[in-house]
Amino acid sequence: MKKVPILVIRNTLIICIQNDLTDTAILELQNDILDKTYKTRVNGVIIDISSLDMIDVFLGKVISDTTKMVRLLGAQAILVGMKPNIAITLIELGFEMPNVKTAIDVDNGLKILNKYEKYNATKVLEVTELSGED
Amino acid sequence: MKKVPILVIRNTLIICIQNDLTDTAILELQNDILDKTYKTRVNGVIIDISSLDMIDVFLGKVISDTTKMVRLLGAQAILVGMKPNIAITLIELGFEMPNVKTAIDVDNGLKILNKYEKYNATKVLEVTELSGED
Amino acid sequence: MILGVVEIFHEKDIVIARQTARELTKDMGFGLVDQTRIVTAVSELSRNIFKYAKSGRVIFESVESGKSRGISISFIDKGPGIESIENAMKEGFSTDKGMGLGLPGVKKLMDYFKISSELEKGTTVVIIKWK
Amino acid sequence: MILGVVEIFHEKDIVIARQTARELTKDMGFGLVDQTRIVTAVSELSRNIFKYAKSGRVIFESVESGKSRGISISFIDKGPGIESIENAMKEGFSTDKGMGLGLPGVKKLMDYFKISSELEKGTTVVIIKWK
Ligand SMILES: Nc1ncnc2c1ncn2[C@@H]1O[C@H](COP(=O)(O)OP(=O)(O)O)[C@@H](O)[C@H]1O
Ligand SMILES: Nc1ncnc2c1ncn2[C@@H]1O[C@H](COP(=O)(O)OP(=O)(O)O)[C@@H](O)[C@H]1O
C-alpha cells in the first residue's frame, strides 16, 4: 500500500494526495491527517490535490469530511490545486463541497492560513500606510 | 455528583469537562458556566474537552448551545482539545457545530481570545497615530 | 456469548451503559475510533430507552461470522413504541426536543442496524460492529 | 469490439478499473474532461459492484453509430439486485452509508445510461460516452 507523506512547514501540515489510492488507504490517510494535526498542534492543514486526475463521490466526501474534522480539532483546513476537469466533474455529479475552503496552490494556501493568524497585525499596518499617503 | 472546576485566568474562564457526567450534571454545568461568566465579567470562555473520550448528540448540543449563550452574554467562547476519534464520530453523526469556534488546546485558545481583546486596543492606538500624523 | 447486561432505569444508567461499552470494546481489541463509535451509539440508544420508554435493558454480546468477530448490542424496552419507523429514521425528526440525529446517526456509525417496534408493546434496536 | 475486461473482486480492482478506463479513453482520443467523466463513472459503478454484490465484471467496448465512435462500458454482477430502481436513481438515496449521488451522478456524466436489475439475480448497468 502506498504511503502518503505528510510535511510540517510553518505550523502547517501539508498533504499531497496521490492518484490510485484504494478506499481503505484513503480512510487511513484521513486518520493519519487527524492524528498528526492533533499531535503536532499545527493550526493549519493544506490538502494538496494537484496530482489527482479524478475525484469520485467517495474521495470527495472523505476530503470534505476531513476538513470539517480538522476544524473541530481546532485548526484551519484548505483544499488546494484542484484541476478544471475535476471541478467540472464534481459539479456535474452534484457534489459542491460548499463549506470547504479552497486556494489555487500550496503557496496561496499558506498565505491564506498566515493571514488568519496575522490578521489583526496586517490590518493595522495597512491602515498606517494609507494615512502616510494622505 | 462530580463537580467540574471552573478556573479564571487572564480575564478568561476555563472549564475542563470531565467524562461520564450525567445529562443533568451537564445541564448544571452549562448553568454554572453562564452564571460565572456573568458574575466575573470575563470576556472569554474556554471549554476544554481534552479529557473527554466521547461526545454524543446531547452533549454536543449542550456544548454548542453554551457557546451561543456565552456570546449573547457578551463574551467569546472557544472549544479546545477535541480528540480525532471524537471529531470523526461527530461528523459521521452529522453534527458539524459550524458556528462553534475551535482551537487545538487551552494555550492556543488563550492566544486567540487575546487577539480578540487587543483588537480594540490596537484600533484605538491606530487612530491616535493617524491623528498624530495629520 | 453474552458479555454483559445493563438495566436502564435511572439517568445514571446511561453512563453505566457507556462505561460498560468502553470496557468491553477495549477488551475485545477494537481500535480507538471504533470504540468511540460504539460508546456513542450505546449512549444514544440508552438515552432513547430512558427518555421514551422510562426503562429497558441493554445486552452486550460477542458474535462471530466466519473469521470475523464483532460485538452485537441489543436495546430492548416495553415502552410506547414508534409510530412510524420511516419518520424516526429521518435526520432531524424528533417527537421530543431532540435534534433527531440519534437513530440515523447510530446507523451510520455501525455495520449493522435493525430497529423493530410495535405501538404500546415496545421497541428493540440491534446494532453490530465487526472488528 | 471488446477493448478490455476487469474482474471486480478485491477493493484494489476498483483502482484497476479506473486505470483501465483512463488508458483506454486516452488511447481513443477523448478530451481530458470526458476522460475524467468516464474514469469517475467507472469508479462509482465498480465500487457499487464491490460494495453491494461483492464481485462482478466490467467490460469495456468500442462502439460506432454512423460516423460517431464511442466507448460503452458494462457493469455486470450477480448480487442481490435493486428493490426499487426509481429510489436508487434518486439523489440522496442510499441503503448504505453512502451519499446516494453515485447512480444519478453517473447518469449526468454520460450520454447513455441504462440500469436493469432483478432481485436475487443481479444488476447490470451500461453506460456510453460518444466522442
Ligand atoms: N426507544 C424508543 N421508544 C419510543 N420511541 C422512540 C425510541 N427511540 C426513538 N424513538 C422515537 O424516534 C424519534 C427519533 O429518535 P432520535 O433519532 O434518537 O432523535 P431524538 O431522540 O433527538 O428525538 C424520537 O423523537 C422518538 O419519537
Ligand atoms: N450493483 C448494485 N447491486 C445492488 N444494489 C445496488 C447496486 N448499485 C447500487 N445499488 C443500490 O442503489 C443505491 C444507490 O446507489 P448510489 O447512487 O451509487 O449511492 P450509494 O452507493 O452512495 O448508496 C445503493 O444504496 C444500493 O442500495
CA quadruple D53, C38, B52, A35: dihedral, nearest 10 = -30
pLDDT at B125: 40
Residue at A1 is within a domain: no
- Total CB pairs under 8 A between chain B and C: 66
Residue at B1 is within a domain: no
Residue at B115 is within a domain: yes
Give the type of residue at B36: K
List b or e across B119-134, with b for residues whose CB sees 16 or more CB atoms inside 10 angstroms.
eeeeeeebeeeeeeee
**Cβ(D77) – ligand 2 distance below 6 Å:** yes
Encode pLDDT of A25-82 as tens digits. Answer: 999 999 999 999 999 999 999 999 999 999 999 999 999 999 999 999 999 999 999 9
Give A5's pLDDT tier (boundaries 50, 70, 90). Answer: confident
How far apart are alpha carbons A21 and A24 in whole angstroms? 8
C-alpha cell at D112: 447513455
The number of C-alpha atoms within 13 Å of C91 and in the hemisphere containing its C-beta is 10
Q: Which residues of chain B make contact with C44, given a CB cutoff of 8 A?
A: 56-57
pLDDT at A3: 66
Encode pLDDT of D59-71 as tens digits. Answer: 999 999 999 999 9
How far apart are alpha carbons B90 and B93 in whole angstroms? 5
Backbone angles phi, psi at A48, to 5 degrees: -95, 115
For residue B128, pLDDT beyond 70: no
ipTM: 0.91
- Alpha-helical (H) ranges within chain C are 12-27, 32-48, 85-88, 102-109
CA quadruple C40, C42, C45, C51: dihedral, nearest 10 = -90
The distance of D47 to chain A (nearest Cα, Å) reads 9
Going by C-alpha positions, the residue among A75, D20, D40 that lies closest to residue B81 is A75
Reported pTM: 0.90
Of C11, C43, C91, the CB nearest to B56: C43
- Longest Cα pair distance anywhere in chain B, in angstroms? 63
How far apart are alpha carbons D81 and A128 in whole angstroms? 69
Contact D12 A56 (CB under 8 A): no
For residue A24, pLDDT beyond 50: yes
> Looking at chain B, which subunits does it touch, using at least 3 CB pairs closer than 8 Å as the criterion?
A, C
The distance of D78 to chain A (nearest Cα, Å) reads 23
pLDDT at A134: 35
Q: What is the average pLDDT value for chain A, to the nearest integer?
A: 86
Going by C-alpha positions, the residue among C102, C107, C121 that lies closest to residue C46 is C102
How far apart are alpha carbons B134 and B122 in whole angstroms? 19
- Cβ distance B43 to B7 under 8 Å? no
Number of domains in chain B: 1
pLDDT at D98: 82
**Rounded distance from Cα C76 to ligand 1 centre (Å):** 13
How far apart are alpha carbons C21 and C41 in whole angstroms? 9
- Cβ distance C103 to C41 under 8 Å? no
Q: Which of C75, C86, C94 should be mutated for ligand 1, with most atoms under 8 A from CB? A: C94
pLDDT at A4: 76
Of A30, A41, A120, the CB nearest to B122: A120
Q: Assign residue D108 a region: left if phi > 0, alpha if psi is -120 to 50, beta otherwise?
A: alpha
Q: What is the average pLDDT value for chain B, to the nearest integer?
A: 86
Q: What is the average pLDDT value for chain C, to the nearest integer?
A: 96
pLDDT at B118: 61
Going by C-alpha positions, the residue among A80, A19, A84, A76 that lies closest to residue A51 is A19
C-alpha cell at C129: 460492529
Helix, strand, coil content of chain A in percent (nearest 5): 55, 15, 30
Give C96's pLDDT tier (boundaries 50, 70, 90). Answer: confident
Q: How many CB atoms lie within 10 A of CB D53?
A: 18
For residue A120, pLDDT beyond 80: no
Encode pLDDT of C31-42 as tens digits. Answer: 999 999 999 999
Encode pLDDT of B66-97 as tens digits. Answer: 999 999 999 999 999 999 999 999 999 999 99
pLDDT at B117: 67
User: Domain containing A123 — which CATH number?
Assistant: 3.30.750.24
Of B55, B58, B84, the CB nearest to C47: B58
Residue at B22 is within a domain: yes
Atom 24 (ligand 2): residue with closest C-alpha?
D94
Residue at A72 is within a domain: yes
pLDDT at B4: 74
Residue at B25 is within a domain: yes
- Structural domain span for residue B70: 6-131
Residue at B83 is within a domain: yes
Q: What is the DSSP secondary-structure string of A42-90?
A: -SEEEEE-TT-S---HHHHHHHHHHHHHHHHHT-EEEEE---HHHHHHH
**Of residues A80 and B119, more confidently modeled:** A80
Backbone angles phi, psi at B17, to 5 degrees: -75, 135
Q: Which atom of ligand 2 sits closest to the CA of residue D103?
A: 17
